[in-house]
Amino acid sequence: MNENIKSADYTVKRMLALSAPRATIALGGIFSAFSTVLPVALLNVGMNPVLVEKAFMVAYIIALPILVSAVYRIYRLAGVVAELCRLPRPDATSFIIGVFPLGYVVPLYYVLQMFSRCERMRGKINVTPMDIVLNMITFGLHSAMYAMMFNKIYDIVLESLGEPY
């Protein structure tokens, strides 16, 4: 019986390690930041607001498939985290906001919150809603940095779970 539990834990840890959409998370953060920071930069250099609005729409439309893919991958990762930490399955509606302007950090924050509720991670990961507020203050520029930090925190989580994975 104990061996079956260890085998199941190994399988879940392996799923967690392999399901990490590292490049997708980083690209989602970069494209999210680009589509929201570009209009602010253009306004600061004195461009016509009508043209800035059009530039935003073009940048957002270009970024949308990448954002949708990244948020979907983060949602799948959240499902694995829920299984690993024995938490309720995540609600998909909580991830939809990630594809909207300034919203990309919300699904990342959600997964980090799940990790912080995991027994082995308790006290090691502390995330606050201030991360989302910072993203709004910086007009989305924070989302690229937050995506990179998410990948670093993910490494810490995998190390804390122990070998093998």
Q: What pLDDT is attached to residue 55? A: 93
Q: What pLDDT is attached to residue 103? A: 87
Q: What pLDDT is attached to residue 165? A: 46
Name the phi and psi angles at 159, rounded to 5.
Answer: -65, -40
Q: What pLDDT is attached to residue 18? A: 62
CB-based burial, 18-29: b 16+ in 10 Å, e otherwise: eebbeebbbbbb
Residues 64-91: what's their mean pLDDT?
89
Identify the residue with better confidence: 32 or 138. Answer: 32
Over the stretch 12-40, which tens digit does the pLDDT of each residue have? 666 666 666 678 888 888 899 888 888 88
Report the alpha-carbon distance of residue 69 to residue 11 in Å, rounded.
Answer: 25
